Amino acid sequence: MGGATASKPVDDMKYVVVSGGVLSGLGKGVTASSIGVLLKSAGLRVTAVKIDPYLNSDAGTMSPFEHGEVFVLDDGGEADLDLGNYERFCDLNLYRDNNITTGKIYSKVIEAERRGDYLGKTVQVIPHITDAVQNWIEDIAVVPADGIEGSPDACVIELGGTVGDIESAPFIEALRQFQFRVGRENIIFVHVSLVPVMGPVGEQKTKPTQHTVKELRGLGITPDVLVCRAEAPLSDETREKLAAFCHVSPRAVMSAHDVSNIYRVPLLLQAQGMCEALGIDCTKTDLMERWEAMADRVDNLGQEVHIAMVGKYTGLTDSYLSVIKSLQHASFAVNRTLVIDWIEASNLENNSHSDWAVLKAADGILVPGGFGDRGIEGKILAANYARVNSVPYLGICLGLQIATIEFCRNVLGLEGANSTEFDQNTANPAVIFMPEISKTHLGGTMRLGSRPTIFQVDDCKTRRLYGGGPQVDERHRHRYEVNPDLIQKIEAAGLVFVGKDETGLRCEIFELDGHPYYVGVQYHPEFKSRPERPSPPFLGLLKAATGGSI
C-alpha cells in the first residue's frame, strides 16, 4: 500500500475494511485503531470511518447502558465510542461524517428523493442506498483528520455489528461494490472473529470462524486477513486449519490473544506480519519504537494511586470509557498504577454504606458528567467531603455543577440550592437551563463540540497545567450552566471561575482558593486526552493525588 501521489490523491487512496463475526464486542475498534497505528508508522496519513448499522441518526440520544459512552467530536458530532479509540490511538480529530449510521444514510436518500434528484426512478436499497454509502465513504476519506492540509493516504473503515445481521446487509453490499469502484488492489478486508476454547483439553475451535467467513464470502467479500480473538496464542495447527477452510494464507491468520495492556495490540499485529499483509514498511518512522516503550512503561508503573469515581453508570465501565482512558494517560505521566474505586453515587446517600469507607480511603475523587437526578445528592456529598477535607477533586460537566450547588448550600447558606434540571421550583437555582437550548428535541440540541475557554486570571493551577496560554479549546456537551446571577457571590466566597466563555458570562473552569486541587470544568476534557499527551485537568488530579506540585 503506497502513499498517495500529489497528482491523484483520491485515486491512490487505500482502504482497510474491518468487519466482525460470531459475536459483538470482540475488539474490532481496537483492531481498526491498531491498523491505523501501523499505517501511520509507515509514514502514511490516516483517517477512519465507523459504520453503525443502527437507525439512530447518531449516538446522542442513546443511554450509556445501550451503547457505552457518547463520544463528542470537535464539530459537535455525537458518535460511537470507537471514534474515541481511533482518535486516541492515531492522534486524529474526526468529524461527525466519520460516523455513518443507517439513519444518516436513509435520511440523505429520502431527502434526495423528495427533491426529485432520482428523476422519477423507484428508490431502492440497490443502487440508491448502497451508492449513498460508497459516496459518503469517498467524500469523508479525503478530509484530513490530522490537522495537516491535503488528502490522507489511507482510510480505515470499521463495519459495526456482526456479519449476518439484517441491519448491516446494505453496508456489506455497498462495501462489496466498493472494492470494484476503488480497485481491488486499493482495498484490504480484515475480518475479526472468535476462536473459543472448549472441552477438558482446551482445544481451540475453528468452526465459528469458518462459518462467519463462509457467510461473508457468500455475501461477496473475501477477507484477506483474519484477526482471531482468543485467550491464548493460536496454535500452529489452529492457524493452518483456519487458513485451509477460510481461503487465506496461514501468514494472514493473526492471533489477537490477551495481552498485558491495550498498547501491545499494534505491536502484536506487527510481529505477526500485519505490515506485510498491508503491503507497508512499518519501520519508516520511529512510531512503533515509541509504542513499545509506552507499552513497557505501562507494564512497569509504580505504586498504586486510588481515584474514587462517583457516578451513575458504575456497573458498565464503557459508560465512562474516555474518562477511564484519561485517568490512565495521566497515571502514566506520574508513573503510578491507577486503581479506580467505583462508587454508585446513590449509595452515598446512606451515611453507613460501605462506599463511604472506599471514598475516604481514596487519594482523589472524580465526579464525571451525566444526566438525570438519580444519585445527585450522593454526588453533592462526595464534593462536600473533598472540599472540606482537602481531598483532590475533579468535577466534569455535571461534576462542576453539583460542586457549585454544594458550595451554594453549605458556604453561601442558600438553603435548598439546586439545579433546575432536578428541581424546577427551587428557591435558589444555582444551575439553570441555558436560554438558547431547545426544550422540545433531545438529539443534537445541547451545547456541543469544541468551544474556547478564556482564562480570567494571569496564574492558576489549570492555566499552568494547560501550558500558560490565554485560552483553551475543549469539547462540550451540556444543557445547563451555573446561574450567572450568582457568580459574584460564589467568587467572593472563594470558589473562583478562572475560565469563562468568550462572552465572559458562562462559567467554564472553577478553582477553590486554599485547596490543593478542587477543580471543576464545564467541558469534557476526556475527549482530547492522548496516551502521550494526557488531558491537563486529569493530570492535575493525578499530580495532586500523588503529592506532586502543580
Annotated catalytic sites, by residue?
397, 524, 526
- The 3-state secondary structure of 358-384 reads HHHHCCEEEECCCCCCCCHHHHHHHHH
Q: Note whether 234 and 251 are within 8 A (CB).
A: no
Which stretches of 281-372 are DSSP H helices?
287-299, 321-333, 355-361
Q: Give the contacts of 226 (CB within 8 A, at least 6 positions apart).
A: 190, 191, 192, 193, 209, 213, 242, 246, 248, 252, 253, 254
3-state secondary structure (DSSP) of residue 36: helix
Nearest to 406 by CA among 286, 533, 493: 493
Asked if 76 contacts 527 with a C-beta cutoff of 8 angstroms, the reply is no
At a CB cut-off of 8 Å and minimum separation 6, what does 69 contact?
81, 84, 318, 319, 320, 321, 322
Three-class DSSP labels, 107-132: HHHHHHHHHCCCCCCCCCHHHHHHHH
Helices (H), 205-278: 207-218, 236-246, 265-271, 274-278
Closest CA to 532 of 284, 263, 323: 263
Contacts 24+ apart (CB under 8 A), 92-95: 92/36, 92/46, 92/47, 92/48, 92/145, 92/146, 93/145, 93/146, 93/147, 94/47, 94/48, 94/145, 95/140, 95/143, 95/145
Grid cell locating 362: 481514596
Q: Is the distance from CB of 304 to CB of 339 less than 8 angstroms? A: yes
28-to-83, 145, 248, 421 alpha-carbon distances in Å: 12, 20, 19, 37
> CA 199 → CA 204, 209, 238, distances in Å?
9, 18, 15
Identity of the amino acid at 156: V
Residue at 407: amino acid letter: F
Closest to 277 measured CA to CA, from 500, 544, 18 = 18
| Cβ neighbours of residue 210 closer than 8 Å, sequence gap 6 or more | 242, 245, 246
Report how far residue 80's alpha carbon sits from residue 258's, in angstroms, rounded to the nearest whole number: 24
Cβ–Cβ < 8 Å for 472, 521: no
**Reading across the β-sheet that carries 418-419, which strands appear in turn?**
418-419, 429-433, 480-482
Cis peptide bond N-terminal to 536, omega within 30: no
Helix (H, G, I), strand (E, B) or coil at 32: helix
